[in-house]
Amino acid sequence: MGGAGGRRLVGMNNTPTTGTSTVSTAATEPCGLLADKVVFVTGAGRGIGAAAARLFAGEGARVLLAARTEAQLKAVTEDIRAAGGTADYVLCDLADAAGVRASVDRAVELYGRLDAAFNNGATIVPPGPMDRVTEADFDHLYAVNLKGPWLSMAAEVAAIRATAGKGAIVNNSSVGSLMANPELPAYGAMKRAVNSLTASAAVTYGPEGIRVNAVAPGTTLTEMVRDWENDSPGIVERLNSLTPLGRPADPEEIAQAAAWLLSDRASYVTGTVLRVDGGMRA
């Protein structure tokens, strides 16, 4: 896959040339799944968000990374720049409405427009049955995992509408939103609500040319899942036993699905919750 700024030579009939010969009338076209797009990524300091930011930049996008931890954001941004990509970062708390709007506006300030967004940022609380979820934990999950994507989508739609005109948004859901989730009941409930917001936004903004989809990852080796394993030893092995592919995903595998949904190759896909779960829900 092409990196940022990568190009290929094509002839007058748009067929790639081969060998060492050149065509005097040849033109160049940008390479990369997300070439020349401006993409905003939340939760971009680690896990799936960091993998997505690196992948999107490698596919030609200019990316703005958003999260709460500056050291993580700075490290990922520097990695992208060192690889030849274009990236910057902004501190953002998804529970802060003004901060979310300012972060999305920052993408427009830096790059002139917004084409796409990956709403990946989320939090988790200790696993356990519903009656053991504290009210404080429930409220925290609501503020970050449900209200955060709602705030983000509202700001992103406004920015896309005012600049690029058309675009795409992908929300990060969970396979745990598609079934009973007794160990993470509040988390699953918030993610199921994100699926509903995704569908509603797709219907609302589709006529404007703004596509809205979600990915529903299965077990993925992120810091969040490692924390869950520490709280519930053996959970990853048990989840792998329920997964036909027999293993967890690497964060980049989820990012690849999000990249496709954000790209023009998914131009007729909207309102979908795409399972990226190794067959867990097959």
| 6 sits in which H/E element | none
Alpha-carbon torsion angle 137, 141, 142, 145, nearest 10: 180
Q: How many CA atoms lie within 13 A of 14 on its CB side?
A: 2
Burial 194-221 (b: 16+ CB within 10 A, else e): bbebbbebbeebeeeebbbbbbbbbbbb
Q: How many CA atoms lie within 13 A of 103 on its CB side?
A: 32
The tokens describing 175, both together, are: 């396979």
Residue type, 77: T
Name residues whose C-beta falls within 8 Å of residue 104's C-beta, 6 or more positions apart in sequence. Answer: 40, 114, 117, 152, 155, 156, 158, 159
**Catalytic option among 89, 187, 205, 268:** 187
Catalytic (active site) residue 187: yes
Q: Compute how many other C-beta atoms are within 10 angstroms of the C-beta atom of residue 132.
A: 10
Distances (CA, A) of 27 to 2, 12, 22: 17, 8, 11
Looking up tokens 């994100």 gives 194
Alpha carbon distance 54, 164 (integer Å): 22
Contact 152, 94 (CB under 8 A): yes
Looking up tokens 């200019």 gives 62
Q: Which residues are catalytic?
A: 187
